[in-house]
Structure 1
Amino acid sequence: MFNVLRAEPKTTFEYGPFRIRRMRPGQILPERGDDAFGPLSVIDHANLEQGTLVKMHEHNNDEILSYMWRGSMVHEDSAGNRVPLSPKKLMMMNAGESFWHEESTPLVSAEMLQIFIRPRKANLEARVQFMERRDGPKQNAWTLIGAPEGIESPLEIRQAIYVYDIRLDTDTTIEIPTHPGFAQWLYVMDGEITIGGHTLGKGDAISDETSALTPATATKETTLVCFLVYLDAESVLEGTISGKFGNVK
């Protein structure tokens, strides 16, 4: 039986010009008793108004994927980068032992996911990666955004997680990515789908620990983000954000 995690307004909090709805992806499988979905610990669906500034701050032992869906955001960091992010340019911060960064939206507002993953090991080398693409999510075809070490992909994740996205036309049906031994966690970034007898709208997610998800049909133009996660992967709890919630293997 598929489990659905609905968008809950009560999980939204505001800090001045930005608003975040914080998701604990493991709550989709309550029988596991873990707020994290394996090493996938926290997902923040964030809306940042123009003029937002999140000042320079440190992360340790977080793998952080900044998935930009709309607008743009300027990233600055302790490695000397100053890079505008957008749906055409995504970012992976492998915070490792220590990494400092700052975020701002000087030109336009932005909507994004900030995804916190527990790394396989503590105090790895800190680094940042960028993924460039022409037009954001592909239309009616999945794009691999990130994958575990040793798998060819635009962004390397130091954990057993794959991340994909897609933009669907209305009335388009698509199969969901799979990988042997990995559980699926499918998120509706925008739009609406029907899948497995459920209707999911913006901010909803669906998963099953053991069974593969059935194909999804878009009832309007829709953006989906799909995570494939090895639920029993070894991971650490030292992360600034990813280590705060749930249990650990």
Structure 2
Amino acid sequence: MSLESTGTLHKAPRTDVSQNQGKFRIHLNFPGRNLPDHDDHGYGPLATVVESFMDPDTLISMHQHRNEEIISWVPAGVMRHDDGEGNKLVTDPEHMMVMNAGSGFWHEERTLADDPPLRMLQIFVRPHSLDLEPDIQHEPIPEPVDNEWRHLFGPEESEAPLSVRNDVHFYDTHLEEGERIDLPTEPEWDTYFYVFDGAVTAGDTHFDKTESGLLVDGSETTVTAETEALLVAFTIDPDAPITRQGTIGR
């Protein structure tokens, strides 16, 4: 992807911060590390973007989250969720899930033996306040349209199909080779993007699969796919009030 912008673009490679539990593996990407000399691994309300892998027939047993918003984005395959409230939910390319953990939410995740291998993103957002009322959202999402942004979550007052309790919007897009699109922006906010699949360039900078960019003070930013690519992007208010006591996404 090529990039034209009045702002500053900061690139980060795929993190080397990972955990390998055999059939369950994660890489943690920290948007704050894109910015030189930034003293926070997160960037405002966006704490971390976790690339998660689950083999078929994998169980992550019941555990609790507190004081974080956990979003499950599944571009292919299925992730099966059970929780302490009796919900049995399947997150897949047609559905997305947000756990607003608040004061505490228990859940487990699994794949069945005949499910395909799963690669997904689990996104951790810092809420604006501690010990909020716990909730879970599991909703159908709009059909994707190639070369257009799809708005999937936003603050509670937004028009997105799901919401988080802070100032972050989330979008995805599938770009065909050679297509151009503007990065989503909000006035006075910054934009973080992550290349889930494909190899792209931004300006003179090459971005491979799993690399990310943080656009600070930018506007009217056009991106062009050099190969077929799957991209996610976040618009973030870097000055939003945040809490930092999440179970994982601190």
Deviations 1:3-29 (A, max 9, x none): 101114x32321010221111110001
Residue matched to 1:119: 127
1:90 match: secondary structure: strand
Separation in 2 of the partners of 1:143 and 1:218? 17
After TM superposition, the score normalised by the length of structure 2 is 0.92
Structure 2 unaligned residues grouped into runs of 5+: 1-7
Q: CA deviation at 1:40?
A: 0.7
* TM-score for the superposition, normalised by structure 1: 0.92
Aligned to 1:44: 50
Percent identity reads 35
Q: Compared with structure 1, are the counterparts of its residues 198 and 131 closer, same or farther at alpha carbon in structure 2 (3 Å cutoff)?
A: farther
- Please name the residue that 2:3 is paired with: none
Query: 1:90-116 deviations in whole A, cap 9, x for unaligned?
Result: 111100011011000112221101111
Equivalent residue letter for 1:206: G
Paired residue secondary structure (1:26): helix
RMSD across aligned positions (CA):
1.4
Cα shift readout 1:200-244 (whole Å, capped 9, x = no counterpart): 12101111322237311112211110001111110112211122x
Contact 1:2–1:196 under 8 Å retained in 2:
no
Aligned equivalents of 1:240 and 1:213: distance in 2?
Answer: 36
Which residue identity is paired with 2:29? M
- Structure 1 segments, 4+ long, off by >3 Å, are none
The answer as to 2:182 corresponding to 1:175 is: yes
Aligned partner of 1:15: which letter?
A: Q
Unaligned runs of 5+ in 1: 244-249
Counterpart of 1:177, as a letter, is P
Aligned length: 241
Q: Aligned partners of 1:205 and 1:131: how far apart in 2?
A: 27
Matched residue, 1:225:
232
Which deviates more, 212-221 or 48-57? 212-221
More contact order relative to length (CA 8 Å, sep ≥ 6): 2
1:129 alignment partner, one of 133, 137, 158? 137
CA contact (8 A) 1:195 1:215 kept: no
